Amino acid sequence: MDELGINFQPSEREKQVLEALSLGYNRNEIANQLRISKHTVDTHRKNLLRKLSARNVAHLVRKSVHYNWLDCKIKTF
């Protein structure tokens, strides 16, 4: 557990999915952009929700900014 009380850090791919989710992209768009399956996008999203104990994507984005997993200044995917 780190100093913020988080047990796990996101993988690089999870960070990419998180950034795309924060910009409002849907799973089809994320899958196409990252060249992964929609199922893989869903798996990354579920893992992120679990890692931060978030209830939904909006809660995930809020907590991700709080824990510096996501830079709120990101403009594009």
Statement: residue 76 has pLDDT above 70? no
Per-residue exposure over 17-52, b if at least 16 CB sit within 10 Å of its own CB, e if not:
bbbbbbeebebeebbeebebeeebbeebbebbbebb
- What CATH number has the domain spanning 12-66? 1.10.10.10
Model pTM score:
0.84
Give strand ranges (E) for 1-77.
Answer: none
Task: Please list, in sequence order, all residues whose beta carbon lies within 8 angstroms of the beta carbon of residue 3, skipping any fewer than 6 positions away.
Answer: none
Mean pLDDT of 20-28: 96
* pLDDT at 3 (0 to 100): 53
Q: How far apart are CA 77 and CA 71, in angstroms?
A: 12
Element (H, E) at 44: helix 38-51
Whole-number percent of the chain with pLDDT over 90: 74
Statement: residue 32 has pLDDT above 70? yes
